[in-house]
A and B are shown apart, each in its own frame.
Chain A
Amino acid sequence: MLLLGPALTLFVGFVLVPIAVAIYYSFYKWSGFGPLNHPVGLGNYRRAFADTVFLHAIQHNVTIALLSLLLQLPLSIGLALLLNRQLRGRGFLRLVVFAPYVLSEAVTAVMWLMLLQPDGFVDQVFKHVGLGSLVTTWLANTHVVLYTLFVVITWKYIGFGVILLLAGLQGIPTELREASALDGASPWQTTRRVVLPLLGPTIRIWIFLSMIGSLQIFDIPWIMTLGGPAGASTTMSTYLIDKGFQSYEFGYGSAVAVILFIFCFVFALLYQRFALRRDTAGSLTRMVS
């Protein structure tokens, strides 16, 4: 208990107390200055769920999460399987895939902003490969902007997934592949029936990190679009900053933060309970698992 002291103090001081304070603020109408003297009960929460911009923001987060599952995950697995094979220049290719992850979100966002300028680099590439008719205003078209951001997010984070999965692949003993090959399994069957199931724990961890990341995504949309145009790329986090800090509505902003927290918390608990339990069985105490 004594050894736990410092860590516990930090955890309480920098995690639990701020959460409690945010919950407290969320019941007030408060500009951030002066005393809290305008209680509104659950008014801020009601306002959030009545605001179409916020509801759309939730939708956008969920869209990014689903797209990550449906596109980013298969792509990561494919790249990881490819980069796990003996091929010339493997080290270099791994570096190329992983490099974007090392860049900060801000650098990524600013770089893509420039590439995506009207008639900029991306448009030119499309035109030169004969896809000029597909060119649109990537960040100004309200129907497209969210998917543009998803591509940037994928570009940025794919390296992380690939590294994670590569590590998982390294953990699969080669004997198992050899055995299945000896039994006459085709390479596809070996991958499908032996490798992927053994990669399960890594994939489940990736899904967990990716879902939480999708719910909290902030930097890239904020820098690239400020959540616009007309709220078409607002996420819960950009909405929270927009209302809390930009509009001096700290009570309301806190309520939005609490909602975001609950979403992440509930997802984390359920996911731990139903998906991760078998992976962590034995390594955690009963209470956590």
Chain B
Amino acid sequence: MADDFHAAHPNVTIQVQPIQNESIKTKVQVALQGTPPDIFQQWGGGAEAVQAQSGKLADLTQLTSSWIGDLGKSASGWANDGKQLGIPYDYHVVGFWYRTDLFTKAGITTPPTTLDELLADVTKLKAAGIAPIAVGGKDKWPDAFYWDNFVLKECPKATITAGIAAAKFADPCFTKAGDDLKKLLDAKHFNTGFLATPAQQGAGSSAGLVANGKAAMELQGDWEIPTILGLLPKDQQATVEGQMGFFPFPSITGGQGEPGAALGGGDGFSCSTKAPDACAAFLQFMTSAPVQSELVKANAISIPSNGKATSAITDPTLQKVLTYLQGVSYNQLYFDQALPTNVGNAVNDAVSNFFAGQGSPQDIADAAGKAAGQ
């Protein structure tokens, strides 16, 4: 794709440097203290706001105003203080990815829609000798997805927005989310050794366990399918892809959250102040409908940020995810990304400690305010 752009804009050369998920956060951080690259990965939210303090993120508001409308209102997740500091090229939404073959084997005909149904299905899976849920506890953020989702179920949107803005989760609904999580944890549904399981690296990761049919489901974003396929030998990819299913995070009884709330985010790019014009031109190219369609077809992205390219999605499971995403009342950015980085990490730490049996629901809710005060 970089080559295609170069063909159209011969004076711009793009060098692609692939960096693994966990290490790019550090790399970008260090680069912004010195000379950042002209363009780099950006997940928006609070981390973007912290990075903006460097003064080296280009304000793209003017440069993108003519075409940003194509990307829908979710693009505002990459805006800060009214300035567009990044452009998303795909959107994400989190839900349960499951193996239809394993569900069938355990006698489950329809995926669960409520927490009670989920717990009942989990018992069936266990009885069939299948590890019900894989979670990459080593990386902490997969743990946080659970708490985030319970918060979306327990708390009204306004409470969540205010809590994130103030970096303080004082409302009792945040503690209730921890209580819900406890119910799930107490039932011990996760894969063996989940506290040390990475999310995406190798066959022993949570994605690897689902890929190899060793666990029935995991709570992950829509990057799950490309991740899983990447961990499988070529000749098994098509079979497993056909066996993957998706269901949204189940509802709970008595929560005050909006039923249509979803957890998600997206991938994007920020430009540094060195070459904003060329960078913005590249982003326009990258988010244009034809390029986005190509990216979808090549399995490089799951859900394109440009709505006109969604017709390129052929995978029936992803189509289901797209329908779900298009129907949500709002798509809340992952809390660790929406909050300032140190606060987000503190919340992830607290949730991950809770998974390891340490701390209380109150501790998780307190973690944000405590970290923000330091």
Contacts and interface: CB of A to CB of B under 8 A. Distances in A.
A225 B30 CA distance: 23
B138 A226 contact: yes
A234 to B, nearest CB: 10
Nearest to A148: B196
Given A33-B33, A140-B195, A230-B353, 20 more contacts: A31-B50, A31-B342, A33-B32, A34-B55, A47-B374, A113-B204, A118-B193, A118-B204, A225-B138, A228-B140, A229-B195, A231-B353, A232-B356, A243-B342, A245-B29, A246-B26, A246-B345, A248-B47, A248-B50, A252-B374
Interface string B43-80: 00001001101110000000000000000000000000
6 contacts: A33-B53, A113-B204, A139-B196, A140-B193, A142-B356, A247-B346
B257 interface: no
Contacts of A117: 193, 204
A59 B25 CA distance: 29
Nearest to B353: A230
A84 interface: no
Contacts of B50: 31, 33, 248
Report the 8 A-B pairs with minimum CB-CB distance, sorted nearest first. Answer: A229-B195, A230-B356, A137-B193, A139-B196, A33-B53, A140-B193, A140-B195, A140-B196
A4 to B, nearest CB: 31
The bracket for how many chain B residues form the interface is 35 or more
Contacts of A165: none
The residue in B193, B194, B197, B356 that gathers the most chain A C-beta atoms within 10 A of its C-beta is B193
Interface of B: 25-26, 29-30, 32-33, 47, 50-51, 53-55, 137-140, 191-197, 202, 204, 340-342, 345-346, 349, 352-353, 355-358, 374
Given A228-B352, A245-B26, A247-B342, A139 B33 contact: no
Contacts of A139: 193, 195-196
B345 A230 contact: no
A119 interface: yes
B192 A229 contact: no
A288 B195 CA distance: 47
Given A33-B32, A34-B55, A226-B138, A247 B192 contact: no
B195 A228 contact: yes
A228 B196 contact: yes
The residue in A34, A228, A245 that gathers the most chain B C-beta atoms within 10 A of its C-beta is A228
B341 A228 contact: no
A65 interface: no
Contacts of A229: 137-138, 195-196, 352, 355-356
B32 A119 contact: no
The residue in B25, B138, B194, B346 that gathers the most chain A C-beta atoms within 10 A of its C-beta is B138
A273 B169 CA distance: 52
Contact of A145 (B191, B196, B345, B352): B196
A213 interface: no
A114 interface: yes
A33 B195 contact: no
Contact of B194 (A138, A140, A246, A247): A140
Nearest to A145: B196
A163 to B, nearest CB: 32
Interface string A245-265: 111110010000000000000
A77 B26 CA distance: 41
B342 A228 contact: no
Contact of A140 (B47, B197, B342, B358): B197
Contacts of A246: 25-26, 341, 345
